[in-house]
Structure 1
Amino acid sequence: MLAWAALSPASESLAQTRRMGLKMDDAKYLRLPRKSSNVKLKGALPVSYNLRELLPEIADQGLDGTCVGWSAAYYMRTAMEAGKLGLGGQPAKIAATAFSPSWLYGQVKSGLDNSCAEGVFLEDALEVMKTKGTALLSCAPANCDAKYDQCDDAAANYKIADYATLFNPKDKDATPGQRINAIKSALVEGKNAVLIGMMVPPSFIEEAAQFWQAAPGESVDNTAGGHAMAVVGYDDNMNGGSFLIANSWGKAWGSNGFTWAKYDDLVRFTRNAYQIFPEPAAKPQPQVVTLKGNVDFSISNGGMPVHSTLYKGIQVTPDQPDSKIEMITYNMSQPYSSGTRFKMVINNSKQSYVYILGSDQQNRVSTLFPYNSEEVITSAMVPANSTVLMPSANASFTLDEVKGEDYFVVFISQNELNLDELANKVKNAEGTIVQKAYAALGEEFISPKEIAYDSGKIAYEVKGDPKGSVVPVLVKIVHQ
């Protein structure tokens, strides 16, 4: 499906001042990494959550098809920066920190689009924000006709770390409740706006006020086109449960440019939704805990207890050439037989990429997480203060018929890694599994002397800003 701001006759007259401009392609969207459905926020979601105090003043895209620039740069990226700087409720300072919709739109629009009327893909804009950054509005004021090459260098200071889709529009088994919770969780986890691509029904253009809900008979098969917006809050008690939407149609639309969209109607007309992950914070103080987490294994009838051993043989020589650093490898306290099914839960205090490899004494190496298939590419990003159940709620890891020693190699990384390359390096390296793991990443590993491993459970803690960006967690299972 490909859709953008083509207008139905019913809404054409009003839409002369209500332009959209979002291109959508299901195949393009589904090729992006999707946030694992098994990532859960620690604790219950609050009844309501609102980021409105972090937003700049509501703006109007006018007759330009630039909704992607306004939603992604002006609203979402500004809210992210305002939250980082603690500017909530300070409109003048937020305005000075706002980001440019025109610079972002100009990065991804067609070279033939001289009037900013054709629209663009959110996916393309987010990739620019990840790889090139985003320019400030003070450098690149809103002007469709302007070129802002002079802002490119400064824009690189404002990159996002990554982004992930929240659901599959073609998944007929996904319930409205699952999609609602995916958006709510992303808002609370990220403390930032969720970007959506919505197929806009006529009632959203013509009738939205403080509240919006679809008119009787409206369907996704008869809409005015695709529109990008920012979801900036929710309230379970607002009109039976609603999301707060920041739109780019000026203050005359909705309620001063916002509307509370009823949960079920919002997710029914929303085809695309994205969670955006910020760049890591500035370097912390040496004694501040910057990363803390644990890993739990379980089988159907209970837990899988572990004990730890110091796995010798790895040399780390940044300061003392003759010193040896001992690294903990966790061992299951008892052997397990072929066919044993088990799950893994990872809890992490800091936003991180999580990668898992499996290996054995026959040097078979497999990629276990993130899981990719023809249907879905799973994002490796796990938000801060979240848990992720692996491989999934309705699947388990299973020990095969090859007996011996099996290993789980878990990498908790600040930076994005190529899992297939990691697997090949581990497979082709010489030595023990620990030596293979170190050979795969080398200096990217945080030195074991900088990591406090718990000897009684699979847990780790890192303080300050040590050299490297990856915490390794190694687990051995005796397979009998």
Structure 2
Amino acid sequence: MNLKRNWNWLGLCLLLTSAVFGEEFDPSSVRSPGCQPGTFSCGYIPSSKEIQDSIPLKRDFNSFEELPKAIDLSSQMPPVGNQGRQNSCVAWATGYAIKSYLLKNKGQAPEYDPPFAGGKGKFVFSPAFIYNQQNGGEDKGLYYYKTMEFLKSNGAAPWSSMPYSDKDYLTQPSQSSKKEALKYKIKSFSRLNYKNPDEIKRVLAGKNVVMVGMIIDDAFYKLKGSTIYDENGGQSYGGHAMTIVGYDDQKKSKSGKKGAFKLQNSWGTNWGDKGFGWVSYSMLAKVSQETYAIIDEPPTQSTPILNTIPTKKPILPPDEIKVSKGEFDSKIILTWKNQDLAVAYLIQRKDESEFYDLAYSDKPSFIDVNVSLNSTYVYRLVSIGTEEVSDVSFDVEGFTSAEPNPNGSIGQVVGLTGLVYVSGTLPNVDLSWSELDGASGYTIARADSSLKWKNIGTSKTSHFIDPSPKIGESNYYRVSAIVQLKQAGVWSDAAVIDVADQNLLPNQVTHLTATNGDFSNKIILNWNAAPGAKIYYLYRFDERAEPSGQFEISGTTFTDTDQSIQNGDQFLYTIISANDLGYAEPSEVVFGKTDPSLTKRAGGVTLNPPKLLTSNPIGKDKLVTLKWDSVKDSFEYYIYRKHLKGKGKVGKLEFVASVEGKKNSYSETFPGNGGDLFLYTVRSKSEFGAESKDSNFVSIFWNEPKTQVKKRAISLEELPSSFVGTWTSMYWNPKSGPQTVEIEIVGNGQVFSARLKLNDKDVRQFSGTWTPGSQTIKTNGFLFEISKSLEGNSLAQFQSVKDFENGVELSFTKEK
């Protein structure tokens, strides 16, 4: 009896033990033979710095909107799967996780039905379709950028048309599977700055998810439950691809760091918390190598639908601000992206605790010469439009050098943008960027999807037209400054322009214009033809933003004579290009109106406004001089101006003077004081007709010259403790795999020394002088900056270091 009871207890114990061990995650179950220290072939292959720099950063989100404290999209994701011992994690992240999520999120799938969960696989995508076609017959993993280009060209196939097996990386899809996949192509992709958690959080807050590639180690394999991955542990194995599906600002790791991202893995439900895991913001910045967001093709519709009512675009504060840091001893140069609606910019500088108005600029750059040697300055900027001003930009820091240095680096071109349109029968790409002080010209380079760059021309201005972009492909562009006939500075961030054909969705319409009171009974609209477009849908809205008309047009002009517009009210228009595959995004909006009073005026005509109104910089004589192109049949010109008043308010337009029609210039003494800004415009008028619309506005200001630079007292402040200590990071060497990077910083007064180690071996010693007040230390080949977005982290850039790609930037965490 007792013997029987003992056997029962033993069986129960074995059963419970088996159950417990059955829930344990076995790392070897998801490691391929090559996923081990030394070979580092785990499935995700990080792209080189040159490749990553060629992919444009995502910049189209509003970074001034407040973010939610937490987002969790895990419940909306497809069920967690298991890649097994195959290096297909990139295909699992991009195809199975993200493409399946986007399909259901668009309302095109009723449910997730993966076969491993008993489904038929019609509404989830096959990792095998993506992986087997790209791996070249070897189970060595994939690059993210090549996979996303594959998805743009080939799409993704449902699991049901090409089932996945971790034992088979060679079988190729059938022709029917390839054809079906073309219905599920992605539209585009954007690179995210993984060192700034807010950029990833904004994508998640927009109900999209993010692909990430990380260096993984033993500690990551052992992650369990709600534990946050926050420290390296054990050996590094290689790169692994996953999906970021959420974040929580309030989560705190064992080391005390706040904020973590939620990951969906492809290692089955025994890993982490049922297949999900958490990684701190700080750790992700340290071990991540790439993050991207996918923009999916919109669902096919019989007619385009405007999901949101178009509105007038607000004026935004300057962004992409670059500031010189120790490049010069007697000046600091600021450059930023030109804002579409800005006619001038206000530069503010911080004096101890408060900002004050320093100067105005009529272009997206400024040189501050009211500086001292070895001093730090903090700036912020405001965009000024004809009707309103923007919020202030984020604060930026610059500093001067401790020793005389008049010949610093010219810096990086910023603000590169492009518009595509048809000129004649062929597409053109119109590029523009912010002018760089000191540049005598610019070199323009282009690459296709292979990301191999070729110089295609030069320009003496901040403008260039590419008359022969590749059609039906993505065209990548970048720009660098020329000084004394030689290329100088670094290349700009890349911009990508897709040039459509009939096999792609058409391009967005550009250069839409509408007459504004030119006629009593009609509004004429014109636009440039969009590549790939067969037809256009024009939408009209009244002043209350209510739909007022929809028109289908085959050409690039339309005359609106509807009775409802002939009351003089203002109407808003936007246009959508279309072809057999679908529709582009709506164009920028324009406003148009009629002027019923024109029919009541006796004789005369209303002329076009003057073009190319320009102004001069205000000198010691304080003389304002305006010039413009003459308007045929103009009897006289009227000069108007408005004053920018306190707290950024733009005043009302006031009449200043009239000029006889045979003249095309006007001069007056500057009407204000130092620190004032005025906006001027000119109208033409026939002898008996009405005044024209306003010309373009120009800004005129007087930055009162400083009689003497305020010399700052010599600071005895020592290098802050926030710099001092040991900092660690991870770097992926394209030839030898993951490397542990260590920087040990010590200070002696304002002098610093930074010792760089790679895999515990001394590589280089840097030394220099800290500029008091700065959050950055800099010397030849080394720049180290305390992170603004991550407490306890820093960013370091390296130049001309043998073991690093030139210009590489890494995120470091401070060791305790």
Structure 2 length normalisation: TM-score?
Answer: 0.39
Query: Does the C-alpha gap of structure 1 residues 53 and 354 become closer, same or farther in structure 2, counting only changes over 3 Å?
Result: farther
The range that moved more, 81-90 or 232-241, is: 81-90
In 1, the alpha carbon distance for the partners of 2:127 and 2:112 equals: 21
Matched ranges for 1:161-180 at <5 A:
161-167=187-193, 176=195, 178=196, 180=197
Give the residue type in structure 1 aligned to 2:91: G
* 1:283-432 alignment, distance < 5 Å: 283=301, 288=306, 292-297=310-315, 340-341=362-363, 355=419, 366=463, 372-373=478-479, 374-379=491-496, 415=506
Match of 2:81 among 51, 59, 62: 59
Aligned amino acid, residue 294 of structure 2: I
Q: Which whole-Å deviations, capped at 9, do the CAs of 1:47-70 have from their partners, x for residues lacking one?
A: 221222222221111111111111
Q: Secondary structure at the match of 1:120?
A: coil
Q: Quote how far apart the aligned CAs of 1:339 are.
A: 5.8
Deviation of 1:256 after TM superposition, in Å, equals 1.0
Q: Mean alpha-carbon deviation: is it higher for 42-51 or for 122-131?
A: 42-51
Q: How far apart, CA to CA, are the structure 1 residues paired with 2:525 and 2:156?
A: 40
| 1:94-133 equivalent positions in 2, closer than 5 A | 96-111=122-137, 113=138, 116=139, 118-133=140-155
Segment drifting more, 83-92 vs 238-247: 83-92
Q: Which secondary structure does the structure 2 equivalent of 1:162 belong to?
A: strand
Question: Does residue 147 of the first structure (1) align with residue 172 of the second (2)?
Answer: yes
Find 2:49's aligned residue among 2, 24, 27. Answer: 27
2:271 maps to which of 223, 232, 253 = 253
Deviation by residue 1:176-206 (Cα, 9 ceiling, x = unmatched): 4x2x1111112222x2220011111321012
1:391-412 Cα shifts (integer Å, max 9, x gaps): xxxxxxxxxxxxxxxxxxxxxx
Deviates more, 1:231-240 or 1:75-84: 231-240
Structure 2 distance, partners of 1:244, 1:414, is 34
Structure 1 unaligned segments of length 5 or more: list them.
Answer: 1-12, 169-175, 301-329, 348-352, 382-412, 423-433
Which structure shows the bigger proportion of residues in helix conformation? 1
Deviation at 1:251, TM superposition (A): 1.2
> What is the Cα deviation at residue 146 of structure 1?
2.9
Q: 1:283 to 1:205 in 2, by over 3 A?
A: same
Gaps of 5+ in 2: 1-24, 32-41, 253-257, 319-339, 345-359, 365-382, 391-416, 420-429, 434-459, 466-475, 480-490, 499-503, 512-523, 544-567, 592-610, 616-816
Whole-angstrom distance in 2 between the partners of 1:124 and 1:32? 13
In the alignment of these two chains, the number of paired residues is 365
* Change in CA separation of 1:71 and 1:477 when aligned onto 2, cut-off 3 Å: farther
CA distance in 2, matches of 1:414, 1:41: 28
Question: Is residue 260 of structure 2 the alignment partner of residue 242 of structure 1?
Answer: yes
**TM-aligned CA deviation for residue 259 of structure 1:** 0.7
- Aligned with 2:200: secondary structure? helix
1:471 offset after TM fit, Å? 2.6
Per the alignment, residue 305 of structure 1 pairs with: none
2:614 match: 479
Letter in 1 for 2:185: K
Structure 1 distance, partners of 2:229, 2:160, is 36
1:46 to partner: Cα distance: 1.5
Q: Distance in 1 between matches of 2:108 and 2:217?
A: 37
TM-aligned CA distance change 1:203 to 1:186, over 3 Å: same
- Aligned AA (1:271): Q
How far does the alpha carbon of each residue in 1:409-432 deviate from its partner, in whole angstroms, 9 at most, with x for none?
Answer: xxxx9745899xx9xxxxxxxxxx
Q: Partner residue of 1:196?
A: 212
**Once the 2 structures are TM-superposed, how far is the Cα of residue 292 of structure 1 from its aligned partner?**
2.0
State the SS of the aligned residue for 1:75: helix
The answer to whether residue 53 in structure 2 is matched with residue 17 in structure 1 is: no
Other-structure match for 1:137 = 159
Q: Is the 8 A contact 1:164 1:274 kept in 2?
A: yes
Say which structure, 1 or 2, has more relative contact order (CA 8 Å, 6+ apart): 1
Structure 1 447/464 Cα, relative in aligned 2: closer, same or farther at 3 Å? closer
Distance in 2 (alpha carbons) for counterparts of 1:210 and 1:160: 33
What's 1:387 paired with?
none
Q: In structure 2, what is the Cα distance between the partners aligned to 1:273 and 1:255? A: 22
Deviates more, 1:78-87 or 1:180-189: 78-87
Q: What is the CA–CA distance in structure 1 between the aligned matches of 2:268 and 2:342, rounded to whole Å? A: 60
1:159 corresponds to? 185
Residues in 2 aligned to 1:298 and 1:229: alpha-carbon distance in whole angstroms: 34
Name which of structure 1's ranges 204-213 and 62-71 shifts more when overlaid on structure 2.
Answer: 204-213
Provide the residue aligned with 2:240 in structure 1.
227
After superposition, the C-alpha distances for 1:181-232 in whole angstroms (9 at most, x for unaligned) are 111112222x2220011111321012343223233x659xx62210110111
Shift of 1:32: 4.0
Q: Give the superposed CA RMSD.
A: 4.7
Indicate if the aligned counterparts of 1:293 and 1:460 stay in contact, CA closer than 8 A. Answer: no
Larger Rg: 2
CA distance in 2, matches of 1:416, 1:84: 21
Give the superposition deviation at 1:125: 1.1
Secondary structure (helix, strand or coil) at the match of 1:65 reads: coil
How many angstroms does 1:254 deviate by? 0.7
- Residue 45 of structure 1: aligned partner: 67
Q: Give the structure 1 partner of residue 648 of structure 2.
A: none
Change (3 A) 1:229 1:90: closer
**Which residue of 74, 82, 94 maps to 1:72?**
94
Q: Distance in 2 between matches of 1:55 and 1:131?
A: 25
Equivalent-residue separation in structure 2 for 1:442 and 1:464 (angstroms): 9
What amino acid does structure 2 have at the position aligned with 1:273? Answer: T
8 A contact 1:74–1:101 mirrored in 2: yes
- What fraction of aligned residue pairs are identical, expressed as a percent? 21
Q: 1:291 and 1:380 mapped to 2: Cα distance?
A: 26
List per-residue Cα deviations over 1:18-53 (Å, max 9, x = no partner). 333111122364254323446326742222212222
Is 2:202 the counterpart of 1:185? yes
Give 1:243 deviation, angstroms: 1.0
Whole-angstrom distance in 1 between the partners of 2:281 and 2:120: 29
**Structure 1 residues 462, 74: CA separation in 2 closer, same or farther (over 3 Å shift)?**
same
- Alignment of 1:276 with 2:294, yes or no, is yes
**Equivalent position of 1:209 in the other structure:** 225
| d(CA) in 2 for partners of 1:459, 1:344 | 23
Partner AA of 2:495 in structure 1: T
What is the DSSP-based 3-state SS (H/G/I as helix, E as strand, rest coil) of the residue aligned with 1:252? coil
Deviation at 1:128, TM superposition (A): 1.0
More strand by share: 2
Any idea what SS the aligned residue of 1:23 has?
Answer: coil
Change (3 A) 1:64 1:449: closer
Cα distance in 2 between the residues matched to 1:358 and 1:205: 47
Structure 1 pair 59–287 and aligned structure 2 pair: CA distance change class (3 A): closer
What is the distance in 2 between the residues matched to 1:344 and 1:106? 54
Amino acid of the residue matched to residue 288 of structure 2?
A: T
Alpha-carbon distance change, 292 to 71 in structure 1, aligned in 2, over 3 angstroms: same
What is the rounded CA distance, in whole Å, between the counterparts of 2:80 and 2:507 in structure 1?
34
